[in-house]
């Protein structure tokens, strides 16, 4: 039997920090509301493109695995905030890494894109289609945010992380995965303006306006993540006591606490990043996984549960059995160019390019263009 072991991992967090106090300089909000309702204190704002974050994260993951980019066979780019639809973003990463033999595909299931991508790449390795893969979870939400809407603008942040999967004879990597979609609730989370569907109606290309029913998403997220967690554990014959670490999607601390309670998982087994990074959509789970490894929370042979949900409303729960190695084989010298602006300065520049309901197409292209030409 072939497995798809996770042999490399790397994150790339943009350095600029946007605090709750920064948000309250232009929104009718405050630190106390954000902290008590979401558990968030700060989030990151990227000065480079999502592809650039991904290239650094992937290079770090490849070095960690000791795998040359030239030997890479598949790149899966999990995101819903791509700079372009055609060509896809995975191809930009392939070019920048020099991974000329790699197939390149994007996966968009919103916040679950990394988990869906991880399952896809694992299946391709286990069926012998490829021998290895990089799976990326990345999001550049700041450019698509409606910064006039306090109901969503306080919740999200930018970030990226990647893992390397390699074929192995030893049982490790993804051992169980359940995926689904609560499509009857698809309109509870909709970013109008990503895609062409709204052109000529209430939104022009380049604008965004968020439909976001927070309380409805909250309830459905708790239900979907809890049920998916219980199902994947049952299918694999794993009890809650046998789970060593939970690395959940981090949209709200209260959602995570409710899922843990419902699924019988104590909070001291849960890896949390929501306070420092907010909701990074597809990047949330892999960034938390990388931080769990870097802080010694992943032990050799550990059983890790990774539940998530996102727009669609897609949901997933993935069980991973870790291998023997929890330290990197090598490091990469790839890094981001210096950031010369504060997070608040970058957000104010985006806000200045937005009309009252979103941003103008010219404004968006000015903000995104030139950041990456891979
Ligand atoms: N600052 C201050 N007040 C705010 C606010 C903000 N940023 N956003 C909303 N409010 C106000 C509301 O207007 C409302 O005021 P009212 O009572 O006078 O009408 C009040 O706070 C309560 O709003 P409500 O939406 O009921 O709060 P909540 O406890 O449900 O928390 C969320 C809101 C969004 C934090 C919560 O529902 C949530 O996390 N949902 C999940 C959404 C999500 O993460 N989706 C991503 C999918 S991956």
| pLDDT, tens digit, 9 for 90 and up, residues 61-80 | 999 999 999 999 999 999 99
DSSP state of 176: E
Active site residue 279: yes
Residue 355's pLDDT is 62
Burial classification of residue 361, based on how many CB atoms lie within 10 Å of its CB (0-12 exposed, 13-18 middle, 19 or more buried):
middle
> Contact 366/40 with Cβ under 8 angstroms?
no
Q: Which atom of ligand 1 is nearest to 310's Cα?
A: 48
Domain ranges of the chain: 3-354
Residue 194's pLDDT is 79
Q: Determine which residue's CA is closest to atom 24 belonging to ligand 1.
A: 215
pLDDT at residue 306 greater than cutoff 50: yes
Residue 302's pLDDT is 98
pLDDT at residue 10 greater than cutoff 90: yes
Ligand 1 in contact with 4 (CB < 6 A)? no
> Contact 208/342 with Cβ under 8 angstroms?
no
Active site residue 108: no
What is the topology classification, in CATH, of domain 3-354? Answer: Peroxisomal Thiolase; Chain A, domain 1 (3.40.47)
- For 266, residues 6+ apart whose C-beta sits below 8 A from its C-beta are 260
pLDDT at residue 200 greater than cutoff 60: no
d(CA 307, CA 256): 10
Q: How confident is the model at residue 193 (pLDDT cuts 50, 70, 90)?
A: confident
Q: Which atom of ligand 1 is nearest to 23's Cα?
A: 7
Ligand 1 in contact with 154 (CB < 6 A)? yes
User: Among residues 47, 80, 181, 249, which one is catalytic?
Assistant: 249
> Contact 305/317 with Cβ under 8 angstroms?
yes
Q: Which residues are registered as beta bridge partners of 208?
A: none
User: What's the average model confidence in pLDDT over 213-233?
Assistant: 95
The per-residue pLDDT for range 315-326, each reduced to its tens digit, is 999 999 999 999
* Angle, CA of 180, 209 and 25, to the nearest 5°: 115
Residue 14's pLDDT is 98
Integer Rg of the chain from CA: 19
Task: Calculate the average pLDDT of the chain.
Answer: 93
d(CA 77, CA 356): 32
User: What's the average model confidence in pLDDT over 186-204?
Assistant: 76
Burial classification of residue 34, based on how many CB atoms lie within 10 Å of its CB (0-12 exposed, 13-18 middle, 19 or more buried):
buried
Residue 362's pLDDT is 45
pLDDT at residue 47 greater than cutoff 60: yes
Which candidate, 86, 347, 111, places its Cα nearest to that of 196? 86
The per-residue pLDDT for range 235-282, each reduced to its tens digit, is 999 999 999 999 999 999 999 999 999 999 999 999 999 999 999 999
Ligand 1 in contact with 254 (CB < 6 A)? no
Ligand 1 in contact with 252 (CB < 6 A)? yes
Ligand 1 in contact with 155 (CB < 6 A)? yes
Which candidate, 123, 117, 166, places its Cα nearest to that of 137? 117
Active site residue 111: yes
* 38 CA distance to ligand 1 middle (Å): 9
* 151 CA distance to ligand 1 middle (Å): 6
Pocket-testing residue among 35, 218, 254, ligand 1, by greatest number of atoms within 8 A of Cβ: 218
Residue 77's pLDDT is 98
Extract the tokens encoding 357.
């309901």
Q: Determine which residue's CA is closest to atom 14 belonging to ligand 1.
A: 151
Q: Determine which residue's CA is closest to atom 8 belonging to ligand 1.
A: 151
Q: Determine which residue's CA is closest to atom 9 belonging to ligand 1.
A: 151
> Contact 251/215 with Cβ under 8 angstroms?
no
Q: Which atom of ligand 1 is nearest to 313's Cα?
A: 47
> Contact 78/282 with Cβ under 8 angstroms?
yes
Q: How confident is the model at residue 371 (pLDDT cuts 50, 70, 90)?
A: very low
Residue 199's pLDDT is 61
Instruction: Indicate the pairing of strand 159-168 with strand 358-359.
Output: unpaired
pLDDT at residue 205 greater than cutoff 70: no
Q: Which atom of ligand 1 is nearest to 215's Cα?
A: 37
Percent of the chain predicted with pLDDT > 90: 86
Extract the tokens encoding 245.
């670490």
pLDDT at residue 2 greater than cutoff 90: yes
Question: Which helix (H) or strand (E) element contains residue 118?
Answer: helix 113-126
Residue 57's pLDDT is 98
User: Among residues 82, 111, 132, 181, which one is catalytic?
Assistant: 111
């Amino acid at each position: 039997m072939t497995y798809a072991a996770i042999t490399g991992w790397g994150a790339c967090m943009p350095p600029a920090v946007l605090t709750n106090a920064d948000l309250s300089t232009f929104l009718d909000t405050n630190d106390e509301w954000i902290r008590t309702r979401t558990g968030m204190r700060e989030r990151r704002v990227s000065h480079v493109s999502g592809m650039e974050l991904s290239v650094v994260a992937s290079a770090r993951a490849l070095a960690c695995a000791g795998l040359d980019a030239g030997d890479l066979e598949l790149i899966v780019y999990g995101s819903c905030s791509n700079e372009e639809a055609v060509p896809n973003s995975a191809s930009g990463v392939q070019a920048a890494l020099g991974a000329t033999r790699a197939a390149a595909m994007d996966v968009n299931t919103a916040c679950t894109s990394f988990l869906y991508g991880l399952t896809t790449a694992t299946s391709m390795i286990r069926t012998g289609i490829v021998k290895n893969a990089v799976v990326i979870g990345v999001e550049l939400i700041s450019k698509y945010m409606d910064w006039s809407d306090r109901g969503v603008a306080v919740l999200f942040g930018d970030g990226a992380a990647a893992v390397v999967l390699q074929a192995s004879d030893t049982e490790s990597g993804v051992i169980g995965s359940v995926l689904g979609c609560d499509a009857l609730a698809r309109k509870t989370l909709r970013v109008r303006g990503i895609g062409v569907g709204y052109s000529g109606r209430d939104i022009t290309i380049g604008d965004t306006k968020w439909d976001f029913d927070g309380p409805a998403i909250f309830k459905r997220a708790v239900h979907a993540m809890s049920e998916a967690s219980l199902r994947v554990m049952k299918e694999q014959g794993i009890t809650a006591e046998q789970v060593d670490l939970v690395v959940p999607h981090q949209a709200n601390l209260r959602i995570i606490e409710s899922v843990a309670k419902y699924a019988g998982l104590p909070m001291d087994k849960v890896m949390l990043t929501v306070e420092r990074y907010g909701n990074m959509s597809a990047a949330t789970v892999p960034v938390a996984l990388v931080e769990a490894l870097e802080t010694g929370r992943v032990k050799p042979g550990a059983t890790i549960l990774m539940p998530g949900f996102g727009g669609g409303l897609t949901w997933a729960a993935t069980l991973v059995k870790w291998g023997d190695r929890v330290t990197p084989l090598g490091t990469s010298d790839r890094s981001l160019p210096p950031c010369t602006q504060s997070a608040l300065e970058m957000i104010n520049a985006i806000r200045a390019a937005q009309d009252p309901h979103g941003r103008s197409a010219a404004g968006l292209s000015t903000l995104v263009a030139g950041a990456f030409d891979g």
